[in-house]
Structure 1
């Protein structure tokens, strides 16, 4: 029987799966390509996705310092291995938490961190898809749910220029894909 106060990591698992499917089609010669995140090329975006999964685990495990990966010579295969590690370990770490657990000195609940991690992995999967010319029609049901939730917490104060705000100004789109609508709401230009 499942404990109802335990976090449901199914959305995070789906975000990881959608993003991993895109990562699997990236070629080494695309690592320098630009992305919708103006500050990052494909290589930096992938490093962020891997680091974000590790950071969530670190927060759960109480790790306050970690040695950064400074190796500049990764291949897509290296990144897939590291991302697969995140797919295995991060949902499992969240699965040990209870929904009412607070992290970061009580400033962020475990359920909020889980939702942020899910949205981050998913939207960066969209960024990666856009950067390498892959379809952005990623997990429509998950995208709809993330958009509905984002509309409740992403405020104008969270928006700003790249590197300044958490999100850019909401963009317009007429796309039929829910992931594109989520990306536009989070400030990605179509």
Structure 2
């Protein structure tokens, strides 16, 4: 069984997993486009997102306490948790009712997980010199989400103030710029 949310996650997840799998130990202290996070911090945050959005799909409270997930086998565990995330959102019950604690439609919560997965995979790819090609459907969701929730997300600190994108910007770069990311960011 699948839902629209799990299908979107299925398309985006392999791209994020590929980026995480390619991160080397000597890159963990590098800066990222998400200025408050090093690569290590951002991988831990993304890992936390993947784990906690499973809980949110099951209508259980998420635990946002900081945890260091980067222990032996962390890249394989991240891949496994990402598969569990897809499975959690494949259950039609995940899209019923209202998300407890957030008061949002579950589909919106699922979109938030998809956006985190996509944007932070881009952040990590930029920080570690990897190519990244977002799933086109994820990019479309990013734009639609910003149309509906961008102002709220910026007020809450989830997104930075919009920045200018180059005239030839891709749909992903335009979405990133709307979220306050500089599409041409480089660690140097």
Provide the secondary structure at the position in 2 that maps to 1:152: helix
Provide the secondary structure at the position in 1 that maps to 2:164: coil
Q: Distance in 2 between matches of 1:177 and 1:38?
A: 23
Provide the secondary structure at the position in 2 that maps to 1:158: helix
The 10-residue stretch of structure 1 (103-112 or 51-60) with the greater mean CA deviation from structure 2 = 103-112
Q: 1:88 aligns with which of 80, 83, 86?
A: 83
Partner of 1:169: 161
The answer to whether structure 1 residue 27 and structure 2 residue 62 are counterparts is no
Q: Can you give the 5+ residue segments of structure 1 that lack an aligned partner in the other structure? A: none
> What TM-score, normalized to structure 1?
0.81
Partner of 2:147: 152
Deviations 1:35-87 (A, max 9, x none): 01111000011111111111111123344365956448x36x63312211222
Q: For residues 62 and 115 of structure 1, do their structure 2 counterparts lie closer, same or farther at Cα, with a shift above 3 Å needed?
A: closer
Q: Distance in 1 between matches of 2:143 and 2:85?
A: 24
Partner of 1:180: 173
Contact persistence 2:21–2:75 (CA under 8 A): yes
> What TM-score, normalized to structure 2?
0.82
Q: Distance in 2 between matches of 1:182 and 1:142?
A: 12
Partner of 2:52: 55
Q: Distance in 2 between matches of 1:167 and 1:66?
A: 21
Q: Distance in 1 between matches of 2:102 and 2:123?
A: 31
Question: Please, what is the CA RMSD of the aligned residues?
Answer: 2.6
Q: Distance in 2 between matches of 1:65 and 1:115?
A: 16
Q: Can you give the 5+ residue segments of structure 2 that lack an aligned partner in the other structure? A: none
Q: For residues 8 and 136 of structure 1, do their structure 2 counterparts lie closer, same or farther at Cα, with a shift above 3 Å needed?
A: closer
Equivalent pairs, count:
181
More helix by share: 2
